[in-house]
């Protein structure tokens, strides 16, 4: 009898906890909220690259398209326009071997993101912006193989792009 009472109390406490969590607006980041301005579709043209590093705009643009396509329709004729400028791309050594040889780099990218409501197929009202979205990704250097180090930099950029796109979308959805 005591075991059964303990089981019932535990079940009631669990039900109360589930109800409390559900009732306080808890949701998985990036899954709650809505696009500002009632946006149902967005146009994401190739990002503007103002850095000296060539060809990074395609990697970053693709990551944003892949991330936002899970939330809104991404197409040229759309309700909104996302304009992104790559402001900075830097590599900074972060660790060295005992013989003072670089063994790890930190890739840092700074973006300016603006989301506009489209009016007559042109940018209209600014719905959301952040002029300094900064993200970082570290990668290991292979001092004996320059090509392998370059490949690791490319993989770090791809991971950074995916993470930055996800975080940007979450911030837009949460209106933060």
pLDDT at 7 over 60: no
Which comes out higher in pLDDT, residue 9 or 131? 131
Measured in residues, the chain has a length of: 176
Per-residue model confidence as pLDDT tens digits over 41-56: 999 999 999 999 999 9
Compute the mean pLDDT over every residue in the chain, rounded to the nearest whole number. 86
User: What pLDDT does residue 22 have?
Assistant: 45
Taking CA atoms, 118 is separated from 21, 44, 75, 98, 115, in Å, by: 37, 12, 13, 56, 9
Q: How far apart are CA 53 and CA 85, in angstroms?
A: 13
- Report pTM: 0.79
Domains of the chain, CATH where assigned:
32-173 (3.30.160.150)
Per-residue model confidence as pLDDT tens digits over 74-124: 999 999 999 999 999 999 999 999 999 999 999 999 999 999 999 887 778
Residue 2 sits at φ, ψ, to 5 deg, of -65, -35
User: What pLDDT does residue 28 have?
Assistant: 44
Provide the 3-class DSSP secondary structure of residue 146.
helix
Q: How far apart are CA 148 and CA 102, in angstroms?
A: 14
């Amino acid at each position: 009898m005591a075991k059964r009472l303990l089981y019932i109390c535990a079940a009631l406490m669990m039900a109360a906890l589930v109800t409390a969590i559900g009732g306080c607006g808890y949701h998985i980041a990036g899954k709650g909220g809505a696009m500002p301005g009632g946006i149902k579709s967005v146009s994401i043209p190739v990002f503007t690259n103002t850095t000296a590093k060539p060809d990074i705009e395609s990697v970053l643009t693709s990551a944003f398209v892949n991330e936002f396509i899970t939330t809104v329709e991404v197409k040229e004729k759309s309700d909104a326009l996302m304009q992104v400028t790559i402001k900075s791309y830097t590599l900074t050594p972060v660790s060295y071997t005992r013989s003072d040889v670089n063994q790890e780099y930190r890739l840092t990218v700074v973006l300016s993101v603006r989301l506009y409501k489209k009016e007559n197929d042109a940018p209209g009202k600014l719905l959301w912006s952040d002029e300094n979205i900064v993200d970082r990704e570290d990668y290991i250097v292979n001092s004996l193989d320059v090509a392998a180090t370059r490949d690791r930099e490319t993989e770090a950029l791809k991971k950074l792009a995916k993470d930055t796109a996800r975080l940007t979308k979450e911030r837009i959805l949460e209106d933060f």
